[in-house]
Amino acid sequence: MKTIILTFFIAFVIGCTSLNEPKSITKNTKTQEGNTHTNLPSSGKIVSIKALKSNLTELSQRLDTIHPDPGFTMDVSEVKSQIESLSEGITSPMTHYEAWKYFSQLNPYFKDGHMLIASPQLDDQFKNHIQSGGRLFPFDVMIDASQRLLVAETIEGHSDIKIGDEITSVNGVRASKIIETILARMYGDSLEFRAAFTASRFKKIYWLLFGSSKDYQIEFMHKNKRKQFSIMGVTDEPENHNADVREFVQSRILDNDIGYLRVDRFFYSQEQEQPFFTFLDETWQAFKDANVKDVIIDVRHNPGGTDHYWQQGIAPYIASRPFPFLSNFKIRMTERNIKLGPIKGNQGEVIEGTFNQLVPVDAHKGLKIPGRAYLLMGPLSYSSTILFLTSLQDSRQAVIAGHSNVRSCTTGRIQTHVLSGSNLELTMPTLIFTRPSGKEHCQQPIEPDVYVSNEVINSNEAVEHLAKYITANR
């Protein structure tokens, strides 16, 4: 087997031990959610019964012919049973929008942040809604382990609404029903990941399923007192793929000679790549000039991307020796993977192999930190970020803090496929990666060396807690 370097990707469209597991799929979409909105996304073209059923058959076939090992993430018999149940429930044509709502009920059953059924058309509609000044749900939110919808950020003009207040209804729909409806279509490894991802994308997902209005009638609970407000929806800026990288990376120097680096993504446009590395060069130089001993690298909100960002921009400055970031891989030789290489094989076959490539650490420019690196993870840490965490943990070159509820071995090299007829998009991984320590713990989350509870993991308290731990354990 040749020494290889593989690149990883993460899919986007748009987890809490007491959250409910996926419920049985609803067969009749026309009787779902008592939605009082009229400003829903447009329905799109009509899709025939034959096309809908054909799409589900195609999905089942691609599990067997494109995915390298669907049983690694999901209960295959359960998924195929749900696909059959959906097919049986199709008794009339659907619009594109109805088809997405119906098919996306499979997403939780895939149990993988790299596999989902999505609608590029609805994504385009959302962009148009934003660009035309359309209103969105006004609050940033959190979802707790009891599936309560909580205020995460206050807004100007509503001082009576506090962070942590429970949102009990929106426009006459119970918050519990809203969360249930969204989670029934959300993808991801675990319940906590799906809940955290829902919260992080709530404004968009709410718009997809419940539409928009100029004003939102929102009911809150604050200290056991019920309050109701009419709050104008907010406008938003279209996503800028060439935004200043400082929107995604931050650094500062904390007390007691501790450096802090926050990296919220490992994927950037071609125009952003060099500014990213320049920012990191400046950060490591600033840490050295300030005599920083130890560093906190905050990847709590980092969903992944491609590995060269952390392998070149972070690893040389915190690791003392080269280290592996995988031990094994399993790949389906699709037409695309044959073209991409470097593995060679016949189309359709699954190839497994060992991975011996080491991450080099000599390009630190004399700026390597003298102490230890503490990597702070959270429920949204995923994909290449998991590889970053496990490789440094398994090589014993960093301390892992926080907590995680996704598998510590990840999938990758995703492929998208448009289902003819419905024009829904199926995203599926074609690679499975095994962490350097081997398969034994693949299905378990990363076990942190320093645990940070879910109650504070998304707040600055987590950084303060970790900084105190570092100082006390030098």
Residues 6+ apart with CB under 8 A from 157: none
The pLDDT, as a whole number, for residue 29 is: 40
pLDDT, average across residues 443-462: 88
Same-domain status, 312 and 220: no
459: three-class secondary structure by DSSP: coil
Length of the chain: 474
222: three-class secondary structure by DSSP: strand
pLDDT, average across residues 276-305: 97
**Alpha-carbon distance 331 to 411, whole Å?**
10
**Alpha-carbon distance 167 to 132, whole Å?**
28
The pLDDT, as a whole number, for residue 15 is: 30
Same-domain status, 280 and 383: yes
pLDDT, average across residues 114-123: 96
In a domain, 157, yes or no: yes
* Structural domain span for residue 154: 130-232
Percentage, residues of the chain above pLDDT 90: 83
**What tens digit of pLDDT does each residue of 223-251 get?**
889 999 999 999 987 777 678 999 999 99
Would you say 182 and 205 are in contact if contact means Cβ atoms under 8 Å apart?
yes
CA 1 to chain CA centroid, nearest Å: 32
Would you say 142 and 199 are in contact if contact means Cβ atoms under 8 Å apart?
yes
Same-domain status, 212 and 271: no
The pLDDT, as a whole number, for residue 24 is: 54
- Count of domains observed in the chain: 2
Q: Is the pLDDT of residue 107 over 80?
A: yes
pLDDT, average across residues 292-311: 97
Same-domain status, 270 and 157: no
The pLDDT, as a whole number, for residue 176 is: 97
Pick from 186, 203, 232: which residue ends a domain?
Answer: 232
- 29 vs 12: which has the higher pLDDT: 29
Q: What tokens were used for 343?
A: 């593995």
Residue 229 belongs to what H/E stretch?
strand 225-232
**Alpha-carbon distance 221 to 314, whole Å?**
44
3-state helix, strand, coil in the chain (%, to 5): 35, 20, 45
Would you say 425 and 116 are in contact if contact means Cβ atoms under 8 Å apart?
no
Amino acid making up residue 426: L
The pLDDT, as a whole number, for residue 455 is: 75
Q: Is the pLDDT of residue 317 over 80?
A: yes
**CATH (domain of 313):** 3.90.226.10
